[in-house]
Amino acid sequence: MKNSFDYIFKGTNFSVELKKELEKMFTFKKVKKREILLSTNKTVKTLFFVVDGCLRSFYLDEQAREHTLHFAVKNAAITDFTALYNNKPPSLKIECITDSVIIEIDFSEYRKTLSKYKELESFQRLVYERHISSLSNRILKQLTLTAAERYKLFLAEFPQVNELASNHHIASYLGVAQQSLSRLKSEI
């Protein structure tokens, strides 16, 4: 488990004191396939970090259609970031695609620690910058690429998710019908 802690904060020169504070707010947990970690009727207080396994965030629209926003595999974080940062009710659900090992991070404690340590604040700014860039890139590709191009990009970015997630989940991530995804798979 220490390797995951080291991965989250790789390339940092955090003090021993800061590392000890951070370790206190991390809870390692084993979760089961199909377990819902965050639902729309709960307040978002936690950031989930995947040690092993696969999780997804998704939106359920008024017609009960799922729209997968994000997959998180080993060494990735996931939550409803909009709800977490703005203290609003969540619009996304977080589901385990596989049995997984995660780290739950108490975000209110993490925020307090951010204000105490300049080095953590600088680290978090870089994380935000990467996250914004990634989201912007995903939106642009969703708007400009064909379904086949999006699927090829998905395979390049998430090769392990293609093996772990159902066609239903992958299709909802790509913004295509399951039948279209089946056709894309047979053509590629």
**Using one digit for the tens of pLDDT, what is the confidence trace for 125-182?**
888 898 889 889 999 999 999 999 999 999 999 999 999 999 999 999 999 999 999 9
Share of the chain above pLDDT 90, in %: 66
> Can you give the pLDDT at residue 124?
85
Q: What is the CATH T-level fold of the domain 2-114, as seen in this structure?
A: Jelly Rolls (2.60.120)
pTM of the prediction?
0.86
Mean pLDDT of 60-66: 94
Please, are residues 22 and 113 in contact by the beta-carbon 8 Å criterion?
yes
CB atoms within 10 A of CB 63: 5
Residue with tokens 């080291």: 6
Please, are residues 74 and 50 in contact by the beta-carbon 8 Å criterion?
yes
